[in-house]
């Protein structure tokens, strides 16, 4: 039988696949170190758990409005005002089953067949696949390490065509940890205005920033940028709530209306209990986040220091999120037990087989020559995992 040709072309999420594989190996008693997971290793803070328990006890276990409960929308509106000086009304907000569903809704609500969406490489794995699911065409910009893996307006001009409908900006970035400055964002916003295209700004790592960097939302730069930007955010990373599946988007009310209509058929409301828990998260104390950020920074500092001492590899110091891109291109052509490392996939496979360390091959992010290491894992794991990576590299002939 011929199944959907479109679906046949969609690759599974490699980040989730590697995370699942490492977890499975662990459950089988294999001493595996997982650098794959893009999820905080901390448990969800106690007050958020309590809010979920109360919600259940008070009977908030029924359908809610499809686009989310008013209490959570209000907390999100307050957050946008406080953190980003952005003023949204309730009809400009949608709450979904993770930022992933928000993204799926955005593309479904804005793209027509053949519309092009500009994406920077390396990209987070799901963007191209989600664009394709909505009959859009991903158009890639190869960014350079020398430019901190950021695209410039010149890059955007080269990628632009009459069919360009949207540019994606992921700030802070997964997988590189790069952060765009206000001046860079202003130039991008001017370009979008000139060409009259939409901006999708995925800001899910907004609060995971180090070295006194400041997050700037492109939507806040001008009235025009505000109108053409769809901001994506969520509770997964900031509050260690990946499993609760709550993400949100803010945009022009006409876009949010279409997204809500779509969601009302695909899933209906996101989980009611998780929505009440998210009110406690977003309205809660910032100190919990600060503690996590301090710990992530400590781990990042250890990681980059250790990597700098391993011969034959290099990295870009990440300024946000919780990933390091490790440049392993110098290992290509070398052998281990008769197997040649010829790309980031074979490097990752051999590393898992020989040293039981799981990393994500750069190929999953559209770039070979790199693997991604997540430091959302304990310091103990980081130390042991990096020692193993060092041994692996030293054993290559």
Contact between 98 and ligand PMP by CB under 6 A: the answer reads yes
163 and 137 in contact (C-beta within 8 Å)? yes
Torsion, Cα 132 170 151 225, to 10 degrees, reads 100
Per-residue interface string for the shown chain with ligand PMP, residues 212-241, x marking contact by CB under 6 A: ----------------------x-x-----
Question: Which residue, 356 or 372, has its beta carbon nearer to ligand PMP?
Answer: 372
Helix axes 70-84, 272-283, angle to 10 degrees: 30
Task: Identify whether 122 is preceded by a cis peptide bond (ω within 30 of 0).
Answer: yes
* H or E element that contains 150: none
Q: Which residue is nearest to ligand PMP (CB)?
A: 98
Contact between 38 and ligand GLU by CB under 6 A: the answer reads yes
Task: Identify whether 268 is preceded by a cis peptide bond (ω within 30 of 0).
Answer: no
Q: 120-149: which residues touch ligand PMP (CB under 6 A)?
A: 124
Q: 15-34: which residues touch ligand GLU (CB under 6 A)?
A: 15-16
Contact between 170 and ligand GLU by CB under 6 A: the answer reads no
What is the rounded CA–CA span in Å between residue 251 and residue 249?
A: 7
Selected range binding ligand PMP among 71-79, 96-104, 301-309, 365-373, rule: CB under 6 A: 96-104
How far is C-alpha 226 from the chain's CA centre? 22
According to DSSP, residue 397 is labeled -
Cα distances (angstroms) measured from residue 383 to each of 253, 299, 304, 356, 389: 48, 9, 11, 14, 10
List the one residue from 22, 52, 72, 99 that touches ligand PMP (CB under 6 A). Answer: 99
Residue 270: which of ligand PMP, ligand GLU, none does it interact with, CB under 5 to 8 A by kind? none
179 and 213 in contact (C-beta within 8 Å)? yes
Residues 6+ apart with CB under 8 A from 39: 19, 236, 237, 240, 242, 376
Give the shortest CB-229-to-ligand PMP separation in angstroms.
16
Question: Which residue, 20 or 339, has its beta carbon nearer to ligand GLU?
Answer: 20
Give the shortest CB-327-to-ligand GLU separation in angstroms.
19
Strands 198-202 and 229-234: parallel
Residues 6+ apart with CB under 8 A from 246: 72, 95, 96, 97, 98, 234, 235, 236, 270, 271, 274, 275, 277, 278
Selected range binding ligand GLU among 101-109, 120-128, 153-161, 302-310, rule: CB under 6 A: 120-128
Contact between 174 and ligand GLU by CB under 6 A: the answer reads yes
Residue 234: which of ligand GLU, ligand PMP, none does it interact with, CB under 5 to 8 A by kind? ligand PMP
Q: 160-189: which residues touch ligand PMP (CB under 6 A)?
A: 170, 174
Per-residue interface string for the shown chain with ligand GLU, residues 129-168, x marking contact by CB under 6 A: ----------------------------------------
Contact between 204 and ligand PMP by CB under 6 A: the answer reads yes
- Measure the CA angle with vertex 20, ends 288 and 299; round to 5°: 40
Contact between 100 and ligand PMP by CB under 6 A: the answer reads yes
Binding-site ranges for ligand GLU (CB under 6 A) = 13, 15-16, 38-39, 124-126, 174
């Amino acid at each position: 039988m011929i199944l959907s040709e479109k679906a046949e072309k969609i690759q599974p999420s490699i980040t989730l696949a590697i995370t699942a594989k490492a977890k499975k190996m662990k459950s089988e008693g294999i001493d595996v170190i997982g650098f794959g997971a893009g999820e905080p290793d901390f448990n969800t803070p106690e007050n958020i758990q309590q809010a979920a328990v109360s919600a259940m006890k008070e009977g908030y276990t029924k359908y809610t409005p499809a686009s989310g409960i008013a209490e959570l929308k209000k907390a999100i509106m307050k957050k946008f005002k406080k953190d980003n000086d952005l003023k949204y009304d309730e009809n400009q907000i949608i709450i979904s089953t993770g930022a992933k569903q928000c993204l799926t809704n955005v593309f479904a609500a804005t793209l027509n067949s053949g519309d092009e969406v500009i994406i920077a490489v390396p990209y987070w794995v799901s963007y191209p696949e989600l664009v394709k699911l909505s009959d859009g065409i991903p158009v890639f910009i190869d960014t350079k390490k020398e430019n901190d893996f950021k695209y410039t307006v010149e890059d955007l001009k080269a990628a632009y065509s009459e069919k360009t409908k949207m540019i994606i900006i992921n700030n802070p970035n997964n997988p590189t940890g790069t952060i765009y400055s206000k001046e860079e964002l202003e130039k991008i916003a001017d370009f979008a205005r000139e060409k009259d295209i939409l901006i999708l700004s995925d800001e899910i790592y907004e609060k995971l920033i180090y070295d006194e960097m400041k997050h700037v939302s492109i939507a806040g730069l001008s009235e025009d940028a505000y109108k053409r930007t769809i901001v994506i955010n969520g509770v997964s990373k900031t509050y260690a709530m990946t499993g609760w599946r709550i993400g949100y988007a803010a945009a022009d009310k006409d876009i949010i209306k279409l997204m809500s209509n779509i969601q009302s058929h695909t899933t209906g409301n996101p989980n009611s209990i998780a929505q009440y828990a998210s009110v406690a998260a977003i309205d809660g104390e910032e100190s919990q986040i600060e503690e996590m950020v301090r710990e992530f920074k400590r781990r990042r500092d250890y990681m980059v220091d250790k990597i700098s001492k391993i011969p034959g590899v290099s990295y870009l110091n990440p300024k946000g999120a919780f990933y390091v891109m490790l440049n392993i291109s110098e290992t290509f052509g070398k052998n281990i037990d008769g197997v040649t490392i010829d790309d980031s996939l074979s490097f990752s496979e051999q590393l898992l087989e020989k040293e039981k360390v799981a990393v994500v091959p750069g190929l999953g992010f559209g770039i070979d020559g790199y693997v991604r290491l997540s430091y959302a894992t304990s310091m103990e794991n980081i130390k042991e995992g990096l020692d193993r990576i060092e041994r692996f590299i030293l054993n290559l002939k």
